[in-house]
Chains A and B, each alone.
Chain A
Amino acid sequence: DQQVKQNSPSLSVQEGRISILNCDYTNSMFDYFLWYKKYPAEGPTFLISISSIKDKNEDGRFTVFLNKSAKHLSLHIVPSQPGDSAVYFCAASWKTGNQFYFGTGTSLTVIP
């Protein structure tokens, strides 16, 4: 049973435009959410996180939005750059130190 879902396996965006990656979850106990970026043959790299007490967290070009009532989070990248091309995973957990539940990933391609 997939508790974290990324329904778009791929996304293509023009350089300079906004990339929006979406993620849905089913477990209302989740209180900590993260986005990871993964290049081929490398492990996932932590990008940005948000706790359930917030609805937005921003770090440079990356902003994560959390809608608890809809059990939905999104990652906005603006402006998108070719180096952002990678697979993006969202992950969720509840309580400190617990395992993360990952989505299946969205492959982002930023076209120069």
Chain B
Amino acid sequence: GAGVSQTPSNKVTEKGKYVELRCDPISGHTALYWYRQSLGQGPEFLIYFQGTGAADDSGLPNDRFFAVRPEGSVSTLKIQRTERGDSAVYLCASSIAGGPQHFGPGTRLLVL
């Protein structure tokens, strides 16, 4: 079956701009996660949705980052006033309750 998909696969933007990153989870997966991975590091947790609600957003670095999942399926990660330090690979994962997280290919964000 179809895995987790993320769009765009690459995004280049200028400092100060707004970006949206989209995640389509595996059908039927109620849990959705966003992670950020910098070079040479493992994925770092940003936010977790159970259904439509954010069950844990403790990993969001500051209020420039926001994520939504209005219908409990597709999720959008939104970054306002981007900074060069936001450059990273943004990974989305989904899972059924108690199961392993299945990751998408990621969106490579570069802020110039």
Give the interface of A toward B (CB within 8 A).
4, 6, 34, 36, 41-46, 49, 89, 91, 96-105
Of B35, B45, B98, B100, the most chain A CB neighbours within 10 A belong to: B100
A97 to B31 alpha-carbon distance, docked (Å): 7
Residue of A nearest to B3 (CB): A43
B residues 40-64 near A (Cβ < 8 Å) are 40-45, 48, 50, 55-56, 59
Which residues of B are found within 8 Å of A34, using beta-carbon distances?
Answer: 100
Which residues of A are found within 8 Å of B103, using beta-carbon distances?
Answer: 36, 43-46
Which residues of A are found within 8 Å of B91, using beta-carbon distances?
Answer: 43-44
CB of A99 within 8 A of CB of B33, answer yes
A34 to B48 alpha-carbon distance, docked (Å): 18
Q: Tell me whether A100 and B101 are in contact in the complex, defined as CB-CB below 8 angstroms, given that A44-B43, A105-B42 are known contacts.
A: yes
Which residues of B are found within 8 Å of A102, using beta-carbon distances?
Answer: 35, 42-44
Q: Tell me whether A103 and B42 are in contact in the complex, defined as CB-CB below 8 angstroms, given that A43-B103, A97-B50 are known contacts.
A: yes
Q: Tell me whether A96 and B97 are in contact in the complex, defined as CB-CB below 8 angstroms, given that A43-B104, A43-B105, A46-B102 are known contacts.
A: yes
CB of B56 within 8 A of CB of A99, answer yes
12 more A-B contacts (CB under 8 A) besides A43-B91, A103-B42? Answer: A6-B42, A42-B106, A43-B6, A45-B103, A46-B101, A89-B42, A98-B48, A99-B33, A100-B101, A102-B42, A102-B43, A102-B44
Q: Tell me whether A104 and B45 are in contact in the complex, defined as CB-CB below 8 angstroms, given that A43-B106, A97-B55 are known contacts.
A: no
CB of A43 within 8 A of CB of B97, answer no
A10 to B97 alpha-carbon distance, docked (Å): 33
Partner of B45, one of A36, A45, A89, A101: A101
**Within the complex, what minimum Cβ distance (angstroms) separates B90 from chain A?**
10
CB of A43 within 8 A of CB of B4, answer yes
B residues 76-112 near A (Cβ < 8 Å) are 91, 93, 95, 97-98, 100-106
